[in-house]
Each structure stands twice: as C-alpha cells, then as structure tokens.
Homo-oligomer: A and B are copies of this chain.
Amino acid sequence: MVAATVPEARTTTTSVIGVDLGGTKLLAGAVGPDLAVHHRVRRQAFGLDQPTLLATIVEAVQEAAQAAEAAGTEVAGVGLGIPVTMDRRTGVAVYSTHLPIAGMPFEAVMSEQLGLPVAVDNDGNCAVLAEVRHGAAQGADDVVMLTLGTGIGGGLVLGGKVQRGWIGAGAEFGHMVIDMDGPPCQGNCPNRGCLEVMASGSALVREAALRVGRRPDTPLGHALEEGRALTGPFVTELAHDGDPVALDAMGAVARALGVGLSSIVNMLNPEVIVIGGGVIAAGEMLLGPARQEMLSRALTPARDTVRVVPAAFGDEAGMIGAALLAREEL
C-alpha cells in the first residue's frame, strides 16, 4: 500500500442498466462492473397494452439510470431480456406468448426512446449468461437454464457459447412437448402438453385449483373461501407449511419438470442444469422430486453426471444477465 506520488485521475465507473421483462413484472437495475446492483426498480407488466408497456420500460430504465448517475457512475447502455422469440438478424421480436410486442423492431424502438445503446436478447439467454459467467454454472461449458415463472424461459450454452440457433429463436425449453395430447399451452403457443403448461407457476396454480375443489377442508380450501387469491407463491407457501393439496400440486409440477429434465439430459448432456425464476422459491421441495423423476427416466452416463441446481442469482439472473449482455455487446 505505497502512497501514490501523483494525484490519481478521478475514475468514473460505468454502470449498465439491466432489464428483465417477464410475463407479469419488470425488474430493472443499475449494475456496476462488479455486478453489484445499485438501484432496483420493479413494475407490473401484466395486461398492459403496447404503448403503456413501452412507456413502463422507458420510465423504469430512466429511474434506474438517474439513480446510477446521482451515485456518480456513467450509464453506458441498456440490456433488455424479453420473453420473445427474436429474429436476431433483424432485431425484431417476432413472437411473444405473453406480451403485446410481436412484430416490433424492439431494439431500434427502445434505443430511440431511451437515447442509449441497447442490446436485446431472449430473457432465458440473459439468465444463462449470468449463471455461466458468475453464478451456479460458473466454469461449465455445457449448460441449460430453465426459468420457471408465469411461463418457462430457457437458455442454452454448449461448447462454452450461448446457442441461440439459426436466427436466434432457440432455447425455448418451455415449449418442449412432454405430453403430446396434454392440455393446450398458454398464451399464443399453438402446442399441447408443453413443459410450460405442465411445470410453470401457472401450472402450479392450475394443479392446485383442480385438486382443491375435491378437498375444500384444507388450509388452501379455507383460504380460498375467505377470498384469498390462488397464486403460485401462495401455493408454494402452503406447501412449505404441509398443506396436502398444495403438496400434491407441487408434486405434479415436480414430476412434469423431471420428465422435461430427462429429455434435456438425453438430448444435450449438460454438465449443469440451472433452475431459476419465481417458482424456484419452492427450493428442494420442487428440485428433489424433479431430480428423482429425471434419474428414473434419463440414460446413463449423462443422468449420473449432471447437476441440477437452483440459480445463484435467484430471480435476478435475467436482469443481471441482461446487464452482462450490454457490457459484452455494446
């Protein structure tokens, strides 16, 4: 620790704003070079029309940027993770199950409205980037990430690289079929029995709703009678408390997740599968039985060597990954 003999130039640290836009909510954060999140902004995104959604994004980014600038850092750009299939050749959000932004040149529009450089990718690709660079899959070259929320997002790293497929629309692991004649998938997906409709937060709610009518004399049944809303977090909370209906619903979701994991293990032989998104609040109550189902179905040796672990960045993986994307691409 020798004292400097000349005055140091004042260092301006740069921040980037990471935005994770989910099917129901938006999380933005000012992220420093050390990945520390200096200011978080949360907004509801559910059910907004396109102009309101875009205004919500702009306002959230500006709030985070102003906080970063007030703290003396320069904002170098914005990374956006959005739940869409992208055509990365054109920057157009071709398709979205949950948000009214299909057909939009999303990257160009955001860049113009924000007056900052913008990088856009699928939310699952952002999340896997965060977990591979600095999280639960650090150092691994072959990684699959699933984000279990309203829907199911996915991210894929093979051979050490984020693999988006030919035009950038890949890694939609939520739309892998596990039950070809199963329930119709959510939103605009034309498929049936996708992992998303069998193992997402929405699936947890549906499985609980299907069961609680037959077992009204349970904590969940009583809560609903008293007017409590049936949500994924509430079912998870009751399952932690031992409610039989909530536990059954969690078991059905865990089994479906395990079936999906067996397909992923067989097809891609990942070293690590990282599970993130809001539903991972269930922790080992979900992951334990899902791992068992995978082990009973997948092929050796891939099933015996894979690690199935919760996201290190929890439900901030998408936001932090979006910030990393901006740092790496801009």
Contact = CB atoms under 8 A, between A and B. Distances in A.
Contact of A191 (B85, B172, B190, B298): B298
Given A180-B178, A191-B262, A95 B301 contact: yes
A95 B299 contact: yes
Interface in A256-292: 256, 259-260, 262-263, 266-271
Contacts of A299: 85, 95, 169, 172, 175, 189, 191
**Range for the number of chain A residues in contact with chain B:** 35 or more
B176 A263 contact: yes
Interface in A168-182: 168-173, 175-181
Nearest to A161: B159
A233 B156 CA distance: 38
Given A170-B269, A179-B181, A165 B297 contact: no
A158 interface: yes
A180 B193 CA distance: 10
Given A166-B269, A170-B268, A269-B169, A175 B301 contact: no
Contact of A300 (B95, B180, B270): B95
A163 B180 CA distance: 27
B269 A175 contact: no
Nearest to A272: B166
A56 to B, nearest CB: 25
Given A176-B266, A177-B259, A263-B177, A167 B305 contact: yes
Given A165-B270, A175-B262, A175-B299, 9 more contacts: A142-B165, A154-B267, A158-B159, A159-B159, A175-B267, A177-B259, A177-B263, A179-B181, A191-B298
Interface of A: 85, 87, 94-95, 140-142, 154, 156, 158-159, 161, 163-173, 175-181, 189-192, 256, 259-260, 262-263, 266-271, 296-302, 305-306
